[in-house]
Structure 1
Amino acid sequence: MSKVCVLGAGSWGTALASVLDENGHEVVIWARRQDQVDEINKENTNEKYLPGVSLSKSLRASSNIDEAINGAEFIVLGVPSQQIRAVCKSISNKINPGQVLVNVAKGIEKSTSSRISQVCYQELPDNPYCVLSGPSHAEEVSRKMPTALVVASESIEISQMVQDLFMSEYLRVYTNTDMIGVELGGTTKNIIAFGAGILDGIGFGDNSKAALMTRGIAEISRFGVALGADISTFSGLSGIGDLIVTCTSMHSRNRRAGILIGQGHSLEETQEKIQMVVEGITATEAVYKVAKKIGVEMPITECIYRVVEGQIDPKTAVNELMTRNKKHENESIFKL
């Protein structure tokens, strides 16, 4: 069995820590807030993020990041994507080469347009890296509902090690060598899920959402291939799989945030009501700017970006998408 440190005590970090603990590994969760650490250690709960879920008594939390990573064979990066660089910097002089980084955050660094793997390679170049992604709600994993994920790394050996680490009776993990595609799929689906919520908030129906999801995966694939991803990845767990789960479930904070926008709430009101990081909002700006730079057409992302920026209202955005120039369905998927 392995020693694992999970950096971040949000819903997903806590759920994955529970899986690892149940698999027999020695697990410590790092959290910034001492009250959250005390709750996990004394009450065996994390009510803000996983209400109603009882945690194992053997699961331990710490607010001391040096102590948390010490001796860990695997370090799970469970903090929001915009915090990854700061966290990596904070452990750069304490981490040992060979400690494996397992990123579970989904996003692109807004200030640099870098994927999380690029951030980690810049800050911790001596540490093996992989990304664990796929259609998964922490609320369901923590209740042991069957879930499938995918792990991708430049090294198949690292992917297989992490596959073995997380596999259980209710969590199935596949491997993939397309790290770029898995990272971008997990990032871009949040944008489309935010858009799906906007449609719900306006009051549109299943037809509208099906159209958005289908055309959404087309522009996700186009964007990913332009950046070096394998197009087949987007028909897998980190592509269409993750897109389905985030566009259709009320567990998805991206969808819930979109609903509020569609109902007429401001961006500030929406973020205040959600009370957690909405990765789709940040990803919209980052992906839009990269797409513009590399010349990839992403009409849905562009319209959502303009809604977020207050340039157009949601109904106008939908009208613009519906009245675009006529096209063949498959023409724009492969045309860069």
Structure 2
Amino acid sequence: MAAESVQKDRIVVVGSGAFGTALAAVAASSGKASVTLLARRESIVEDFKQTGRNDSALPGIDLPGALIVSDDPAVLEGAGIVLFAMPSQAQREAGRSLYGFIGKGADVVICAKGMERASGRLLTDVVEEELHLQNVAVLSGPGFAADIAKGLPTAMVVAASSIERAAVLAEALSGATFRLYPSADRIGVQLGGALKNVLAIACGIVEGAGLGDSARAALISRGLAEMSRFVAARGGEADTVRGLSGLGDLVLTATSHQSRNLRYGIALGQSGSASGHSGELVEGAFAASVAADVARQLGVDMPVTAAVAAIIDGKMDVKTALERLMSRPITQE
């Protein structure tokens, strides 16, 4: 384990994909701290030195001159804030491999949206287990990487074990065009981020199948109700899903073609089934089956999520899934 002494004005972002690069850029631009982007490949470091960009993740976007890019995990030693910006299913391995470099006094913030596929557990639980830490925070909400990196106005949420801790992180990571709101509901914020991807796939299916904007609006509203029930059953606050990490993120992801989840859903809707469409790089494709299984175990009614999971898993085609949704018993809203 790295030395206990950490410097709160040192930030390291682990993961040089689009979102990690964008977060590192906005943090470096604020001038509040020394910011390092930890990449897995030396080629990314060399490209940044030559061009000032990470074109493999954010083509054509110039990154701040104050940003440091490295492929040496030793840069984590002494860092006060560490952002885990790798995909959700890579969080456990990252925690395991970096355990020896991150000090116990560091604030670790997960910047991925999903649940662990193998266990159905929240990512905070997974990373806390691997890093032998408590109170890992999470950052989520409506923000596309390119918008953040370009300095377009963006608001998201950071949730920690206490509102006071979340407020400190929000202040440290916010910039002139990037605003973080603090929350103490880590469960609600994480589940909102995971489930909105599933619902975005559902909205994509509706679009791809040519079912119209009215159907999309119905899905968003009924999906939000599902999300609220699931969050409450898992011990979170139902009201959280009406904020940035729930409704805000859902509206963005379910309506913008920048969303990989929406585009994947459109492909499913156009073809009528998941045959020939890999969801390997689509976060919602992992989350759908996990959420549907956990919902069944908890006795939570989530028909839209279950339908998406059945389509992705090849158990049902799009036409059958839609017919079953529309033929469900009519109840009060």
- Same-fold call, TM cutoff 0.5: yes
Residues 1:177 and 2:184 aligned together: yes
CA shift for structure 1 position 244: 0.4
Question: 277-286 vs 169-178, which deviates more?
Answer: 169-178
- The yes-or-no answer on 1:64 pairing with 2:72 is yes
Structure 2 match to 1:301: 305
Residue 34 of structure 1 is aligned with which of 29, 42, 64?
42
SS, match of residue 101 in structure 2 = coil
Note if contact 1:29-1:68 (Cα within 8 Å) is conserved in structure 2. no
- Is the 1:144–1:170 contact (alpha carbons within 8 Å) kept by the matching residues of 2? yes
CA shift, 1:268, in A, is 7.3
- Inter-CA distance 79–247: structure 2 relative to 1 (3 Å threshold): same
**TM-score, reference length from structure 2:** 0.93
Deviation at 1:204, TM superposition (A): 1.9
Partner of 1:166: 173
Cα RMSD of the aligned pairs, angstroms, is 1.6
Letter matched to residue 324 of structure 1: R
Distance 1:32 1:102, change over 3 A: same
Change beyond 3 A, Cα 1:119–1:107? same
Which residue number in structure 1 is paired with residue 5 of structure 2?
none
Quickly say closer, same or farther: Cα 1:313–1:8, change in 2 above 3 A: same
Provide the residue aligned with 2:296 in structure 1.
292
1:138 aligns with 2:145: yes
| 3-state SS of paired residue (1:256) | helix
Q: 2:242 aligns with which of 223, 235, 240?
A: 235
Structure 1: how far apart are the matches of 2:157 and 2:176?
Answer: 16
2:318 to 310, 314, 320: 314
CA shift in 2, pair 1:158/1:246, >3 Å: same
Equivalence for 2:214:
207
Matched residues in 1 for 2:230 and 2:110: separation?
21
Gaps of 5+ in 2: 1-7
- Which of 115, 118, 124 is residue 122 of structure 2 equivalent to? 115
Instruction: Compute the displacement of 1:263 (Å).
Output: 1.6
Helix, strand or coil: the match of 2:271? coil
5+ residue gaps, structure 1, are 330-336
Match of 2:15 among 8, 12, 26: 8
User: Once the 2 structures are TM-superposed, how far is the Cα of residue 266 of structure 1 from its aligned partner?
Assistant: 6.6
TM-score (norm 1): 0.93
- Counterpart for residue 43 of structure 1: 51
What count of residue pairs does the alignment treat as equivalent? 325
Q: CA deviation at 1:127?
A: 5.2
Q: Please give the alpha-carbon distance, in whole angstroms, between the structure 1 residues aligned to 2:200 and 2:232.
A: 21
| Cα distance change, pair 126–310 in 1 and its aligned pair in 2 (3 A) | closer
> 1:332 maps to what in 2?
none
8 A contact 1:101–1:127 mirrored in 2:
no
- How far apart, in 2, do the equivalents of 1:44 and 1:260 lie? 35
Shift of 1:203: 1.5
Percent pairwise identity:
38
TM-aligned CA deviation for residue 124 of structure 1:
1.9
